[in-house]
Amino acid sequence: MLAYRHAFHAGNHADVLKHIVLMLVLRHMNAKPKPYRYVDTHGGAGGYSLEGRYAQKKGEYERGIGRLWTRTDLPELVADYVTLVRRFNPDGVLAQYPGSPALAQLLLRPQDQLRAFELHPTEQKILRATLASTPGAIAYDGDGFVGLKSQLPPSSRRAAVLIDPSYEGNRDYARVVSTLRDALTRFADGVYMVWYPQVSKLEAASLPKRLEALAPKGWLHASLSVQQPDAQGFGLAGSGMFVINPPHALAAQLQDVLPWLVDVLGQYDGARFGLDRVEA
């Protein structure tokens, strides 16, 4: 959606979950010396000012990364994530938040490749500037659902893919499923991460089950529910990350992290997490 700007939501509870999972997957990929390709189908701007008018409008980051920023009791894996965000805020003041391409940029090694897609012209311009200094990184002005086809299979036969569209229109849910079906046909061994919102839509509630049917080699589903919808049933109650071909250690890592995140990010008594995995 060309009207969508992630800056309104940068650093919120959904970004915390998404980026912790992304970090853990990429650190797993780094454990082997062989290069890999990371593909971000909806890269956004790459980085966001938390002092700008978009982020300040609702202050969602204050209930996400803001709740972690000054704590001294962070679990090791959460501390690893916060340390990455601190690299964008060297003076110690939380003013900038990295998007997923910028976070990946910190984690990828010289031999790895980064491919990010973005349709919004302003976001794409910023993304291109963000990645310009990184060898092996390319920002594409285009639809990531379509562009992913050109990236698979990678010559190294190793890949991690993040799919996180805005879901502002119901069409995105079906496109996620069809894009993944095609991607798995092209390259069945990749690690595919899908972020989705917990909102009052049938499409959102049914998406994880639809993704399970695409994952014969195994999947992991992690979710955080942190707030109640408003009186009309609207609002981002939480989010989920569905990982196809997940690293074996990921479930145990998230089992350590998710209960703590519920306690810190939860905004009502019913806050909870979910964690399921099926191995091939």
Q: Which of 4-13, 149-158, 161-170, 181-190 has the lowest mean pLDDT?
A: 4-13
Which CATH number does the domain housing residue 216 bear? 3.40.50.150
Question: Alpha-carbon distance 211 to 188, whole Å?
Answer: 14
Active site residue: 91, 164, 256, 276, which one? 164
Structural domains in the chain (count): 1
β 238-244/218-225 pair status: antiparallel
Asked if 164 is an active-site residue, the reply is yes
Cis peptide before 216 (omega within 30 of 0): no
- Residue range 136-155, pLDDT digits in tens: 999 999 999 999 999 999 99
CA–CA separation, 13 and 261 (whole Å): 9
In a domain, 273, yes or no: yes
Q: Which residues of 147-162 are buried (b: 16+ CB within 10 A; e: fewer)?
A: bbeebbebeeebbbbb
What are the backbone angles phi and psi of residue 6, rounded to the nearest 5°? -70, -15
pTM for the complete prediction? 0.95
What is the span of the domain harbouring residue 218?
Answer: 6-279
Average pLDDT over residues 226-231: 79
The reply to whether 1 falls in a domain is: no
What burial letters (b/e) apply to 82-118, b meaning 16+ CB within 10 Å?
bebbeebeeeeebebbbbbbbbbbebbeeebbbbbbb
What would the pLDDT profile of 110-119 be if each residue is shown by its tens digit?
Answer: 999 999 999 9
